[in-house]
Structure 1
């Protein structure tokens, strides 16, 4: 029994070494300011409490809290519905330039249409960068209004977004969810498709719609994704809009390359050799236990 206890203790120490500091004490970055939490204006008091708990800020005084409503929606999305109901909420923590975007949906069961990667690729189109973004909702919602909240929080932190870009980013998010919901394409695959097409646009700087169409066709084939002709034309229309936006495509290319790499990262792959080390550890346990009976 003592041997078993010793082995279990050793395994716990191994995990502690390989996955250090999962939860660390929060530190306020005095240059970038405190995190900003933006709540959907239609949340009830009970729902607000639920969202605060989900985002881990129910007892946190080192955050700035704001609200987002229909007037904000039409500010960033001119053709949006001013009477739209806003429930999904977000916490945004600015990072140093070059750190990139990290997006996490903390209530995955309640955000039914939008994935973290869909938020990420749309945010890059809109001009949001270098931030940790956490999204939450107290009940099942599509998740679209969180993007408006993220825009507002980002601007409150001192940046200025181009409304033409935020409008197109909203079109991108709508099309992404359409592909996932109606065409049955995996959400991660949709995000990968959008990211790869934008990377090609950033790298090749296409001069015409026909050039964009060629890029779209190549990426659809490369990723083995089949779209109806209607959806294919919608995708070409969207990417042609992105081509014509006032974007620093050199900078966007770097951001998209980084984001594309992050798309491939999943929980458990922080250290690619982690599971191999675990396998080796348990193999050694098996050999040790075997030796007790020889």
Structure 2
């Protein structure tokens, strides 16, 4: 009996130390409306059901469900292909001002190119702030179409996005995934964020000023790019410079994103061995409890 009491006490103690990922459902948010789930338009019914399960749709008090297609791609991206196949999907929950962007890829094995930080960077460029966004796909895909779905969700929710900004944001995502073929993904996100922070702080007046900022950050972060990739990056950042953005407000969001990326690069919490040890602990604990009844 003493052993039973001690083990139960240990379980209770551990449970208080572990974050509560499944917060109590507080019902419908009357300020911002229900979460919007955007399904890739090329999903089969079985794939759509799989995505809905991954996004925990049934756990919501209520959701609005829409689809994103190649036609939407043309709406938000100048050179978009209406025949594009769309599989990656997302659930968007708007939050209060100041809460920032929280991005989670809930099927990480199936989103093969775009990282959470890449999504966050592109969303800020597009003018989307203060939301929790969960991304999922039923099979391996690059993850690009989820961004278009996020645009559509915001407009369904009554927001008017600047098409120039959404086009540049898509360009940013393309450049980020291309750079990540030769540079670590986290370093690519760090590079993009730091360059954008400097653009916000320095307010460069010309392409030459932007080029200097890019060169400084490449040197600071010790990143080597080919001449072609370097040119892609400069072209992108010069487009960002010319956007109608309140850079004074942008700085805070970029600072938060920068901190997140730094933590990701420097932490060991994302180490697979760490999580395997956590799983092993609970597996052993379950076996111990099971043995009492056998």
Q: Report the counterpart of residue 219 of structure 2 in structure 1.
A: 221
The answer as to whether partners of 1:193 and 1:220 remain within 8 angstroms in 2 is yes
The answer as to whether partners of 2:218 and 2:224 remain within 8 angstroms in 1 is yes
CA distance in 1, matches of 2:77, 2:101: 22
Structure 1 length as normaliser, TM-score? Answer: 0.86
Q: Report the counterpart of residue 254 of structure 2 in structure 1.
A: 256
Q: Report the counterpart of residue 198 of structure 1 in structure 2.
A: 196
1:74-223 matches, within 5 Å, as 74-181=74-181, 183=182, 185-223=183-221
The answer as to whether partners of 1:196 and 1:219 remain within 8 angstroms in 2 is yes
Q: Confirm whether residue 19 of structure 1 aligns to residue 24 of structure 2.
A: no
Shift of 1:60: 4.3
The answer as to whether partners of 2:168 and 2:239 remain within 8 angstroms in 1 is yes
Q: Report the counterpart of residue 276 of structure 1 in structure 2.
A: none
Q: Report the counterpart of residue 292 of structure 1 in structure 2.
A: none
CA distance in 1, matches of 2:7, 2:220: 46
The answer as to whether partners of 1:103 and 1:134 remain within 8 angstroms in 2 is yes
Shift of 1:59: 6.1
Q: Confirm whether residue 63 of structure 1 aligns to residue 63 of structure 2.
A: yes
CA distance in 2, matches of 1:263, 1:234: 22
Deviation per residue, 1:7-31 (Å, 9 max, x gap): 5444433332333533112222111
Give the direction of change, closer, same or farther, for the CA distance of 1:20–1:106 in structure 2 (3 Å limit). closer
Q: Report the counterpart of residue 238 of structure 2 in structure 1.
A: 240
Which piece of structure 1 moves more, 260-269 or 13-22? 260-269
CA distance in 1, matches of 2:5, 2:221: 49
Q: Report the counterpart of residue 283 of structure 1 in structure 2.
A: none
The answer as to whether partners of 1:49 and 1:58 remain within 8 angstroms in 2 is no
CA distance in 2, matches of 1:142, 1:47: 16
Q: Secondary structure at the match of 1:252?
A: helix
The answer as to whether partners of 1:68 and 1:148 remain within 8 angstroms in 2 is yes
Q: Report the counterpart of residue 285 of structure 1 in structure 2.
A: none
CA distance in 1, matches of 2:31, 2:268: 32
CA distance in 2, matches of 1:170, 1:218: 24
Q: Secondary structure at the match of 1:92?
A: strand
CA distance in 2, matches of 1:202, 1:258: 14
CA distance in 2, matches of 1:210, 1:59: 51
Q: Secondary structure at the match of 1:226?
A: coil
